[in-house]
Structure 1
Amino acid sequence: MKRRHFIKLVGGMAMACPFVLHAQPLARVARIGFLGSASAPGSAKSVEALRTGLRDLGYVEGKNIVTEFRWAEGRYDRLSALVTELIRLKVDLIVTHGTPGTRAAKKATSTIPIVMAISGDAIATGLVTSLARPEANVTGSTFFIPQLNAKRLELVKEVCPYVARVAALSNPNNPVSKPIIPAMQAAATPLKLDFDIAEAQGPGEFDKAFASMAKRGVDAVVITEDGEFAASFGAIATLALANKLASIGAQEYAKAGGLIGYGVDLLGLYRRAAYF
């Protein structure tokens, strides 16, 4: 079966209040802190997309901006310490990758601007109370992950009508996972799909998760949103194929070898983060 690549632009939203770093030429070199939940190698394309967006606005690394990177390597318990390091470096703003990093940054500072390059539903996860008028020091792009993953169930059933049992690959340490599962369970019932959950905190647990799905008779897997998953799309696609599972994830997942890609343009969100 040929891979199918679906593009979804609806469902992502840019919050309404950009900060003013790019409103006028800087008199000094700005220091940006980047708080990554995954690894540097796995996030290289995302970082390059952010830099492209900054260059489009006239900001060039080493010329008028310097970026300090900190990587949690999938260990979300490290995020608080890493954001503290960035604050000590007196960064002008902090760019976060994912809900866990944004939560850690928001808890650590109420004065340094925080730009969410990517985040699950910012209201549902408690990051803001309004998208039109985000309060305090948090802004950026957010999208509605529960509905997105529910739609992925419909698509995998459409592409692979034989699918009877589907699982969500989920990171239990990621707060965006909590609202995803009920939404997917509700969507599975009218599709006459048995719904299952396979948990993994990172690459070290992928083999076990896929072996468990195969043992339980799962026909298809939905790759939910997580920084560690996004950094390992190629490995996940290979495991899905090896275990004869149909699979669906973000747009970039299909580009990495997965069967179906459906979702917002993640790299596009990183480019847009420069606007804030």
Structure 2
Amino acid sequence: MVISRRSFIACLGALLGPRAADAQRSGHVPRIGILCPHRLSGARGMPRDVFEHALGGLGWTPGSNVELEYRDAEKNDDALAEGAAGLIRLNVDVIVTCGGRATRGAQQSTNAIPIVMSATSDPNRSDFFFDMLLNGRRDNVTGVVLLTTGAGPRALELLSEAGTGFDRIAILWDIRTPSHSAKLKTVEDAARSLRIQVRPVGVRSLSDLPSAFATMQREDVKALLVLGSPYFFAERGRIVELATRYRLPSMFDSRDATEAGGLMSYSANHAALYRRAAGYVDKLLRGARPADLAIEQLSQFELVINLKTAKALGLTIPPSVLQRADQLIK
């Protein structure tokens, strides 16, 4: 009989995975495994300080009464499954996962160890999360899903209100990113409701970016909305540089881009996501069962505005928009 590597890993998880309630054993220091995929080109992964601070507020001090084992892996199924297997071999009590692929990799590797997922997703476009959220097919998985439905249209609306005459907006989208066609359609539908003209500009690689911005200039667009993509995140510095050169007010889906000089960002509040995940870990270490903890659907975003960039562009952002910002970079 031939056993696949994934089947072997799943069997290993069943044999080695301890119960989270073992954290209550006298003298036992619980161990938490954190499994996250690499993001491209030095992008930030889990905000460890936020997660560890949240654990501390719940009575768990890393290095004292709890141990943390971080594992980063390439963003592919085999690498994430192997990362999960490594955590299983360490006899972790709980596995915290970042994103859908990491959750799937951990779930396929063990049905004994509780898994706390922390992920952003639009369940309308994810069969995996649709199954867990609506059909309850989650076994040993619980946690938090931050829903991104409607983020693109809201970002477009905020950008259109940030300056006078922002009624013709370019949308930079990534032809390589599978979800972008659907996201683009959602934004285009919103644009019609808002009576905004949009000009989609698609790229396939970094080398396409200069010509994309030249196209935006020819089309006389007034601002730029950048759809979220791992590739765009990795190249956020280059995109910010081009937006600055062409004097285009820009809206990103990552605060990192705004900190790098973009004008605005409207993005998932990952700090809130991982604080909630810490709460699930706390309950599991104190004896709760994953099946008894409902998956929370969170919808929490943050608007960040770079006032230095606005000044460089000669742009005065209306008070009505500034008042909605969660952070102003001065």
Q: Same fold (TM over 0.5)?
A: yes
1:155 aligns with 2:158: yes
In structure 2, do the counterparts of structure 1 residues 178 and 272 end up closer, same or farther at CA, with 3 Å as the change threshold?
farther
Q: CA RMSD in A?
A: 3.5
1:106 and 1:138 in contact (8 A); partners too? yes
Shift of 1:170: 3.7
Shift of 1:125: 0.7
Q: Tell me the equivalent position of 1:66.
A: 68
Q: Secondary structure of the residue that 2:153 maps to in structure 1?
A: helix
Deviations 1:153-203 (A, max 9, x none): 122222243452421444734x55454222112112333323414346xxx
Of the two structures, which has the highest relative contact order with CA contacts closer than 8 Å and spacing of 6 or more?
1
Shift of 1:119: 1.5
Q: Tell me the equivalent position of 2:51.
A: 50
Deviations 1:14-51 (A, max 9, x none): xxxxxx95996562331413222316953267222222
In structure 2, do the counterparts of structure 1 residues 224 and 117 end up closer, same or farther at CA, with 3 Å as the change threshold?
farther
Q: Tell me the equivalent position of 1:82.
A: 80
Q: Tell me the equivalent position of 2:176.
A: 172
**Could you tell me how far apart the structure 1 residues matched to 2:102 and 2:180 are?**
15
Q: Tell me the equivalent position of 2:224.
A: 221
**Could you tell me how far apart the structure 2 residues matched to 1:23 and 1:57 are?**
18
Deviations 1:207-240 (A, max 9, x none): 4343132132263333334456556655543343
Shift of 1:149: 0.6
Shift of 1:147: 0.9
1:169 and 1:221 in contact (8 A); partners too? no
Q: Secondary structure of the residue that 1:156 maps to in structure 2?
A: helix
Deviates more, 1:55-64 or 1:225-234: 225-234
Deviations 1:59-107 (A, max 9, x none): 33333222132132xxx33x43233232243144333333343344445
1:170 and 1:198 in contact (8 A); partners too? yes
Deviates more, 1:128-137 or 1:175-184: 128-137
Structure 1: gaps spanning 5 or more residues: 1-19
2:35 and 2:83 in contact (8 A); partners too? no
**Could you tell me how far apart the structure 2 residues matched to 1:257 and 1:223 are?**
14
Amino acid of the residue matched to residue 248 of structure 1?
M
Amino acid of the residue matched to residue 58 of structure 1?
G
**Could you tell me how far apart the structure 2 residues matched to 1:166 and 1:97 are?**
31
Question: Counterparts of 1:101-180 in structure 2 under 5 Å?
Answer: 101-122=102-123, 124-128=125-129, 129=131, 131=133, 134=136, 135-160=138-163, 161-170=165-174, 172-173=176-177, 176-177=179-180, 179-180=182-183
1:99 and 1:176 in contact (8 A); partners too? no
Pairs aligned (count): 247
**Could you tell me how far apart the structure 2 residues matched to 1:100 and 1:223 are?**
24
In structure 2, do the counterparts of structure 1 residues 264 and 31 end up closer, same or farther at CA, with 3 Å as the change threshold?
closer
Structure 1 or 2, whichever has the larger Rg, is 2
Structure 2: gaps spanning 5 or more residues: 1-18, 281-330
Shift of 1:255: 3.8
**Could you tell me how far apart the structure 1 residues matched to 2:232 and 2:134 are?**
30
Identity over aligned pairs, percent:
23
Q: Secondary structure of the residue that 2:261 maps to in structure 1?
A: coil
1:42 and 1:231 in contact (8 A); partners too? yes
**Could you tell me how far apart the structure 2 residues matched to 1:89 and 1:45 are?**
17
1:275 aligns with 2:279: yes
Which has the larger helix fraction? 2
1:35 and 1:94 in contact (8 A); partners too? no
Q: Secondary structure of the residue that 1:214 maps to in structure 2?
A: helix
**Could you tell me how far apart the structure 2 residues matched to 1:101 and 1:185 are?**
31
**Could you tell me how far apart the structure 2 residues matched to 1:166 and 1:101 are?**
33
In structure 2, do the counterparts of structure 1 residues 136 and 108 end up closer, same or farther at CA, with 3 Å as the change threshold?
same
1:221 and 1:246 in contact (8 A); partners too? yes
Shift of 1:148: 0.7
In structure 2, do the counterparts of structure 1 residues 111 and 45 end up closer, same or farther at CA, with 3 Å as the change threshold?
closer
1:198 and 1:213 in contact (8 A); partners too? yes
